[in-house]
Chain A
Amino acid sequence: MEPLERYRPIIDDFEAFRAACERPLGIAVRVNTIKADVDRAMATLDEDGIPVEQADWNPRVLRLETNAPGSTWASFHGFIHTQEEVSAVPPVVLDPEPGDRVFDACAAPGGKATQLAALLDDRGTVVANDNNLGRLSALRFNAERLGATSLAVTNQDARNFSFNPLAFDAFDHALVDAPCSCEGTIRKNPTTLEEWTLDHVHSVAGIQKGILKRAVQATKPGGTVVYSTCTFAPEENEAVVQHALGTTDCHLVDIDIGLESVPGITEWQDETYEGSLEKAIRIYPHHNDTGGFFVAKLEVGSA
């Protein structure tokens, strides 16, 4: 928990934040609308004998009272996918439409890639990329169980992503759900912070900058790029977006998601960030009783 102390100056109700980080996280699933609508998924869970509550901000996100959501008919049929509630936010913010060409730069194990496919009604192309082949095999398993036919899976370093294997040379939308120090997953993995070092934060920030920059370049003018992490460190959040603003042609746009959050910050230690970073959102565990997330929405081209 000690690394979290550094956020005392930027988090208003720090004690509530600390307390929430110590509570275990409830189980949430996303309804996979490729295979079943929300009513059918809920009726199936009801037959499975599992109490369900819909999230206010998104009817496709269900909170379950069970420790084994995978051992249900709803899961076997691929009607639901276990996914942390806040982890369902970035694809909703990206908001792609059927037929779109969508890039998921860091896609494994595929929770968000399959959610993107569902948002496309499984019509269009989701390029689900990851540089880790082992994690890609988990993604492929999930994609098949969920019946996603719109995914093309690639194994590249997203920093130098090449369109060579594809039929087009620009995306309509891109999601960068970056590798990060994962501080926001503390409620799910209480040991997350044991290996925390500032050096790791800085080195992963370098990778994040490279991936986000390439994703913006790979997206057509007018298209959107969502950058997300499950960490609180400004070095991996606002600083990475600021780098993209400075090195590529893009600008921040507002996010309207219906979950409690606070704006991105514009000052951290000796750094200052552009005022538009307040359009990004920070979701803290005590806000909605979830994990922590950072989400920024960029539009390619000038405002």
Chain B
Amino acid sequence: MSDGDSSDGESNVGQRFDRLPATASERVVAGRATRAEVLEYFEDRFEIPPETFDEYTFWEKGAGKIWIFSGESPSPAPVEAIGMTCLRTRQEHWKPTTDFVQRFGRQANACVIDIEREAARRFVCGEDQSLEWDGDWGYLIVAHEIAGEREPIGVGLYLHGELRSTVPKGRQREL
């Protein structure tokens, strides 16, 4: 990993999990997101209250892949996986994962696009589609109504009147 080098020699090791520093003043690995930045991102973009994550920790493995965990672990954690992947950082526009949005997206109040059943079906197949949306462009939480309540489906990329599905291949379904 070349992008993680910092002046004091600490670097990002791709094959283990490191807990995110609380704030920038505790950061030793260059480029690593902090817990504060992650909470701020979820609040600024999606209005997910930061308290949602009071009992969770955030971890980085590889360059920019962030995991969310509710258990106990030392850092670094020499394990295969810790909780679930939640966010991709170290790129201009951060991107939440499908599974994170399904798990925590009900807390969101902004950048949530509600779609109809047929559009939802296409989205889950991985199809891109033209849709009206007058909010922010970029990554949105895509939701639909199921059994009388709003339910997040996944993450869409909205650009120029088009909603692109980012549902990973292995998660796509014909419904």
B173 touches A153 (CB 8 A): no
State whether the Cβ of A57 lies closer than 8 Å to any Cβ in chain B: no
Closest chain A residue, CB of each to CB of B74: A167
B84 & A152 in contact (Cβ 8 Å cutoff): no
Q: Is the CB of B71 within 8 A of A144?
A: no
Given the contacts A44-B147, A77-B151, A123-B55, A151 and B83 also touching, CB distance less than 8 Å: yes
The interface stretch among A13-21, A135-143, A236-244, A267-275 is: A135-143
Question: With A70-B173, A71-B173 as given contacts, are A165 and B78 in contact (CB-CB < 8 Å)?
Answer: yes
A77 to B143, CA, bound (A): 11
Given A71-B174, A76-B175, A144-B84, check contact A150 B71 (CB 8 Å): yes
Contact with A along B147-175 (1 / 0, CB 8 A): 11101010000000000000000110111
Q: Which residues of A contact B113 (CB under 8 A)?
A: none
Q: How far is the CB of B38 from chain A (nearest CB, A)?
A: 14
Q: B144's closest neighbor in chain A, by CB?
A: A73
Residue on A with the closest CB to B104? A147
With known contacts A43-B148, A72-B175, A149–B103 Cβ distance under 8 A: yes
A165 neighbours in B (Cβ, 8 Å): 74, 77-79
- Interface range on chain B (Cβ under 8 Å from partner): 20 to 34
Query: In whole angstroms, how far apart are the Cα atoms of A141 and B85 in the complex?
Result: 11
A54 contacts partner chain B, Cβ-Cβ < 8 Å: no
Q: State whether A166 touches B74 (Cβ < 8 A).
A: yes
A101 is an interface residue with CB less than 8 A from chain B? yes
One of A35, A46, A71 near B102 (C-beta < 8 A): A35
Report the Cα distance A77→B144, complex, angstroms.
11
Closest CB of chain A to B31's CB: distance in Å?
25
Contacts A76-B175, A124-B71, A151-B83 given; does A40 touch B147 at CB 8 Å:
yes
Interface residues of B (CB under 8 A from A): 55-56, 68-74, 77-85, 97, 99, 102-103, 124, 146-149, 151, 153, 170-171, 173-175
Given A35-B102, A71-B174; 20 other pairs, CB 8 A cutoff: A40-B147, A40-B149, A47-B146, A76-B124, A77-B151, A78-B103, A143-B84, A148-B84, A149-B56, A149-B68, A149-B84, A149-B103, A150-B71, A151-B81, A152-B73, A153-B79, A153-B82, A154-B80, A164-B78, A166-B74
